[in-house]
Structure 1
Amino acid sequence: MSTRTGRAVRFDRYGDVDELYVTDVEFPDPAPGRVLVEVAAAGINPGEIAIREGAFAETWPSTFPSGQGSDWAGTVVAVGDGVEGLDPGDDVFGWTDDRNAQASHVDVPAEQVLRRPAGIDVASAGVLYVAGMAAVGSVAAVDPQPGETVVVSGATGGVGQIAVQLLTLRDVEVVGIASERNFERLRAMAVTPVAYGATPEQTRENVRAATPEKVHAWIDLHGGGYVEIARDLGIPADRINTIIDFDAVEKFGVHADGTAAAAGRDNMAALADLVADGALEIPIAGGYGLEQVRDAYTELAGGHVVGKIVLLPNA
């Protein structure tokens, strides 16, 4: 059995971004049923900040030293016994449940590895899992029908831009809540932009002004009271989904379907095919080398990223 030396992001205790570091890690040949991939692109996501800061220490505790990341795309290096349909050199993408995608290599079960279609670039494939599945889950939860109007709060984030495109593909009228500097981006995606208000009441009135007809459903990707605004507008709880406001889930009984609800090979393959066919764009806001992981998360934490940031471990 051969072993390779690579690099991986780690943190040894809960804390701020300064806890992150990159260290040498050994990657042996994969065990039966598993695949070793050299990572070309790995996504970063807000949930990883919360995990590293300890916000989910009771729900999803970390084992130290802990890695980070679920999204990845790259090239197969080796396959374990019993793996069929994958060979060294194959361009692939997928996900890991072990928080270790932000590394030069990732070792994953074969069922979490998909061939990358020729029409999707490696950066887009490398950020497809967390944001893409959150968008798929959110859209499915509110069951949009052709001709209906659906509001998306946080519409220009990584999840938001995928969700609004999935909605327009269903012939839905989409209203996106965002900063005015991002209005042109929304209009380019056939989305009606609405500005954040200084107060929840102002935001509610902004939505009302933009939607003289009935609003049928709401996807909340931002938190901070948008579920309550949706309820004030008369949207029933079963047509509202949030991936962030869990207090509102308990209070109003709305959906909380995100990445976990949609995760799976079929949804990943379908989303990748949409990208490869040019029907869906995965917005890439910027890329960082693995050693710049602190800078990447600092930018993400600033809250003004339009799209997805990607780590490029072997660039």
Structure 2
Amino acid sequence: MTEMFDVTIIGGGPAGLYSAFYSGLRGMKTKLIESQRKLGGKVLLYPEKMIWDVGGQPPVPGHTFVKQLVDQALTFEPTVCLDTKVEYVEKTADKHFLITTNHGEIHETKSIILAVGGGIIHPKRLDCPGAEKFEGETLHYTVPSLKLFYQKTVVVSGGGNGAIDWAVELLDIAKHVIVVYRQGDFPAHEAQVELLRKRNATILLNSTIETLIPHNHRNKIKQVVVKNVVSEETNAIDTDHLIVSHGFDREDSLQFASSIQLRKKDEYFYEASPTCSTSEPGIFAAGDIINYDGKVYLLVGAFQDAINAVNSAKQYIDPLAEKIAMVSSHNEKFREKNKQLLETELKL
């Protein structure tokens, strides 16, 4: 017989991690299922990007922010299943749920919080012959360390927020930044585009990368051949590194719930209430996967969703429960932890 949990959170990004913390705060027996091998979600793709827009949190790089989120999520020792993909969800006669995973395991839970964000994401690969042999050496889909590009010539392919953000980050690090984009103007945030234009970056619009030329037959890029799609002229550009930011291919991470009509036809989002309830009683959602009037698609919005989803799940399994948890400064659950932290601080 499987072990019953009060709530199972599907997705280990910011919304899922904060849901795990808050459900523990509410005394719920919690399980978190994540399809990737690490917790952190999409923030893992940007380990050195600075995060500024979380209230009360000083500017912090993505890798540090993820560690803090994970540490907080594990405060009340939830059960965590990594590298586990949910394949099917069904509702039982007693209004509980059975979750089947790719490992053939069945997880039983009284409620579910969907926090799958943009789904299981994979960077879109560069459509150039032989591009894969340069990956990890001089062709990059994520940026593991900005130090790699110090005083180097870097070509950034793409014009969305991700590409332009990386280009701006590199302006004070790289020797030269060249941005190649297939359209006539950037769709990225106006302020970032303006900053890019004011600096010494080279901008090639209406252009695509056609060919990668290796350096001395090694797996390093020496030049990228860029084609102007209007004039059809080509130009070989010397470069040390190429960053490709063309967006992500997204798996249909909601397919497991296709038998439970949770979303509007032809839309990716789940339609939810402001309290993060979906159309299926017992299934709640948080973060970028849901849409409702007034929804905020920022980290702070994911945290608010997490709180609302947990509170809704708590009342679903216990209608007599309080609507919200007691604030942390007065919460009995933190009394001993606060004592330990104070003792540590005094010793310092």
Q: Same fold (TM over 0.5)?
A: no
TM bucket (normalised to shorter chain) is 0.3 to 0.5
| TM-score normalized by the length of structure 1 | 0.32
Report which of the two has the higher share of helix: 1
How does the TM-score come out when normalised to structure 2? 0.30
Max radius of gyration: which structure?
2
